[in-house]
Structure formats: structure tokens, C-alpha cells
Amino acid sequence: MKNILAPIELHSSIESVLRTAVLLARRFGGHIEGMPLGPDLPDLVAFDMPVSWTVTDQNAWREMADEAHRRFEAYMMENAVPLRASAPAHHAPTHSWAGEQSFGDSQAASYARVFDVSVMGRPGGERGDARMATAEAALFESGRPVLLAPPAPVDSMGENIVISWNQSTETARAVAFAMPLLLQARKVTVLTIENFMVEGPPGDLLAQKLANHGVNVEAVTRPNARSPGEAVLEQAGKIGCDLLIKGAYTQSRLRQMIFGGATAHILSRARVPVFMAN
């Protein structure tokens, strides 16, 4: 995972996003490209907007982009991640910055199509938290995986990995994207929650195939006494994982919004980084 995109918005978990991106870059000798992020703006006709509003809006977006850039650069320098132009010759992490004006969520998702992974904040329901629209745009529009940083920075990532295996196409895709991480992990657990799966290959078969790659893996099945999302996080916590891999939205997004679901629960409650693909 050499190409890491880090959309930067000044939400409550920005330090965790930066920390997660640096941990990933150090693991693979990767390059972190930061970019300023803001909400998608509605399509407005220029002559319908007062001139003062247009100028104020453009200035506000530029100020947000400048502050995001300053925060990103300061963190990279404090953590010895140099600019690409000044990087040493060996496989050390580097960084750069894309653009001087904020990208909207859809623009960021489109840009992410040429990266190995995007690192973003885990969405939350409080004012100032990372926005759900950002994560969902990346999941549905980039065609690439998303690594969601938890609210608080973590010390390690990718040593003890749990795959939440529900036999779905989405989870299979997430596992495929995550192979570089799985190959380097000290321990991998394929976790199946009873009565939380679609038709497909069982977890022990996935574990067998991963073992063929040299992954240190075991498969476990646990009962589901709670909602699927709660069960996944509870069991992942008992295993002590520092990274959770999961497919996104096996049920439709609308159904999960109305009735709830594992993806929605994990998106709002996980305390470890979550690697997702759709």
C-alpha cells in the first residue's frame, strides 16, 4: 500500500486520521498525499448568488484549505515524514499536498480512484465529528478501500487483525484489498457471527485459502446474542484486535439507515481502525 490518500478536514478525530495514515505509511514505506476536504456544495447558478456571498464563500473555503494544509504539514514534520522531494533513498514514508482549494466529498472520492487506500475519520453523531457523507462517498464512488480512523489515536495497527466474515461479495472484496496487511500481520482471525451471513464460503475455507499465502490465520465462529454489529465489536474486542476488516453495506444503505445494521453500527461505534470496501 504505497499510495495513501488522506483527505483533511478539521473534525474532532483529525489527529487520529493523521496518526493512522502515518502508521500505514511506515508499515509499507508509503507516500501520504494530503488534500483539503469540505462538504459538497449545491449546484448554484452564479448570477443567482449575491457577489458578497460568493466572495465570502470562496474566502472561507480557501481559509479552511490553508488551515488543513498547515495542520497536515505540522503533523508530518513532527513525526519525521518528509516531503517527497527531500526524502531519503531507502523505503521511508513521505508526504505531499494536493491542491490549494477544498475538494468536495464527491471530488475526493473520484480522486481516490488512483490510490491504494483512503484514510478518513470514523463518522460520528456529534457536532464536529467526521461526516458520514465523506466516508460513504469514498465507499460508493472511489472503487477503492477506505481505512476509517477511530476517534482517538492508536499506538499500533495491523498486528492483530480480525476479518468480520459474513461470506458476502463486499467482504471478499475488502479481504482482497487488505492482502498486503494480512501478509504482514502477526495474527489474523476470521470471525463469523452465527445467523449473520449470506450464502457463500464458510470462514474456515477463507482461513485455509489465506494460509496458502502464508498468513498466520485461524477461523472462529461465535453465537449472536446481540445485534450483528454489537456482536462483531464485542468479539473483536475480546480477541484484542488492532484492525477490523469488513465489507460495507451487505444490506442496502437505505435499509440500514431505517432499520440499522452491522455496517451502520460499526461506522458509529468502532474504537479500532476499520478497513472497509463495498
Query: pLDDT tens-digit profile of 99-128?
Result: 778 899 999 999 999 999 999 999 987 888
Is a pLDDT exceeding 70 seen at residue 23? yes
What DSSP string describes 43-83?
A: ---GGGS-HHHHHHHHHHHHHHHHHHHHHHHHHHHHTT--B
Give strand pairing partners of 121.
149
Q: Do 77 and 198 share a domain, yes or no?
A: no
Domain termination residue (choose one: 100, 124, 149): 149
**Greater pLDDT, 228 or 218:** 218
Evaluate whether 112 touches 144 at the Cβ level (below 8 Å). yes
Q: What sign for the dihedral angle of Cα 272, 270, 263, 216?
A: positive
Residues 79-104 pLDDT 10s: 999 998 765 556 789 999 997 788 99
pLDDT, position 226: 73
User: Between residues 139 and 264, which one has the greater pLDDT?
Assistant: 139
pLDDT value of residue 50: 38
For residues 56 and 15, what is the distance between their CA atoms, to the nearest angstrom? 28
Is there a contact between 80 and 32 (Cβ–Cβ < 8 Å)?
no
pLDDT at 173 over 80: yes
Average pLDDT of the residues in 210-220: 98
Check: CB of residue 149 under 8 Å from CB of residue 19.
yes
Question: Residue 137's pLDDT band (boundaries 50, 70, 90)?
Answer: very high
Q: Is 154 domain-assigned?
A: no
Do 183 and 99 sit in the same domain of this protein?
Answer: no
Residues 6 or more apart whose CB falls under 8 angstroms from that of 263 comprise 229, 246, 248, 249, 250, 251, 256, 276
Give the number of other Cβ atoms within 10 Å of residue 122's Cβ: 26
- What is the band of 200 on the pLDDT scale with cuts at 50, 70, 90? very high
Instruction: Identify whether residues 193 and 112 lie together within a single domain.
Output: no
Q: Are residues 135 and 178 in the same domain?
A: no
Residue 224 falls inside a structural domain:
yes
Per-residue model confidence as pLDDT tens digits over 221-266: 998 877 888 999 999 999 999 999 999 875 444 434 433 467 888 8
In this structure, the answer to whether residues 72 and 50 fall within a common structural domain is yes
| pTM, rounded to two decimals | 0.89
Q: What is the pLDDT of residue 49?
A: 38
Same domain, 225 and 90: no
Task: Please give the helix or strand (H or E) that residue 264 lies within, else none.
Answer: helix 262-269
Q: Whose grid coordinates read 466516508?
A: 135
Please check the confidence at residue 46 and state whether its pLDDT lies above 50.
Answer: no
For the chain, the average pLDDT equals 88
Helix (H) or strand (E) holding 31: strand 31-36
Dist. CA 37–CA 61, nearest whole Å: 9
**Cell matching residue 241:** 484486535
CATH code of residue 94: 3.40.50.620
Say whether both 142 and 82 belong to one domain.
Answer: yes
Nearest CA to 26 out of 76, 64, 74 is that of: 76
Higher-confidence residue of 208 and 269: namely 208
Domain boundary (149, 176, 193) is at 149
State how far the Cα of 27 lies from the Cα of 265, in Å rounded to an integer: 28
Domain of residue 7: give its range: 3-149
Whether 183 and 265 share a structural domain: yes
Number of independent structural domains in the chain: 2
Residue 218 placed within a domain: yes
Edge to edge, what strands does the sheet with 274-277 contain? 94-97, 31-36, 3-8, 117-121, 146-149, 274-277, 243-247, 160-164, 187-193, 217-222
Residue 155 lies in a domain: no
* Residue 100 domain flag: yes
Q: How high is the pLDDT of residue 126?
A: 82
Would you state the pLDDT for residue 3? 97
Within 8 A by CB and 6+ apart from 268, the residues are 122, 123, 124, 125
Give the separation between CA 213 and CA 219, rounded to whole angstroms.
15
Instruction: Give yes or no: residues 194 and 270 share one domain.
Output: yes
Decide which of 118, 149, 180 is a domain's last residue: 149
